[in-house]
């Protein structure tokens, strides 16, 4: 099996850093961070661990921005979600590229479940 490397996008890294900054004073943010690290390890062990998103439901913004062809999501603590895509870097490794880490309301908006929500 090819080695798997998990990389955070700029958007995901920004969310991770914000959670990390608040984690010292919040058990919720601390638990979300622990889930992120735990799920990253599960993805390294099995890149198809997450739930696949149907191709027609992949947000156009991610297709355009990252030129992705697949999308998976995993649940985190407090109803947060982490989205990632798999890319094959030649014959050497698989890259699990984490696109974003979202709260449940932001996840609903991203996936088109709540059309009336304004984008942050």
Per the listing, tokens 């697949």 go with: 70
Instruction: For the chain, give the mean pLDDT.
Output: 85
Distance between CA 67 and CA 9 in Å, rounded?
13
- The torsion angles phi and psi of 80, rounded to 5 degrees, stand at -85, 160
Domains and CATH numbers, the chain: 4-110 (3.30.2310.20)
Q: How far is 101 from 65, CA to CA, in rounded Å? A: 16
pLDDT digits (tens, 9 = 90+) for 47-92: 999 999 999 989 888 899 989 999 999 999 988 899 999 987 665 5
Question: Quick one: tokens of 100?
Answer: 């974003």
């Amino acid at each position: 099996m090819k080695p798997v490397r998990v990389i955070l996008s700029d958007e995901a890294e920004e969310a991770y850093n914000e959670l990390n900054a608040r984690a010292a004073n919040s058990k919720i943010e601390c638990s979300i961070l622990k889930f992120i690290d735990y799920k990253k390890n599960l993805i390294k062990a099995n890149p198809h661990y997450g739930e696949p998103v149907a191709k027609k439901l992949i947000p156009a913004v991610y297709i355009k921005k990252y030129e992705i062809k697949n999308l998976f999501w995993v649940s985190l603590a407090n109803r947060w979600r982490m989205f990632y895509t798999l890319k094959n870097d030649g014959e050497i490794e698989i890259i699990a590229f984490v696109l974003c880490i979202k709260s449940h309301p932001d996840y609903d908006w991203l996936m088109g479940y709540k059309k009336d929500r304004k984008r942050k």
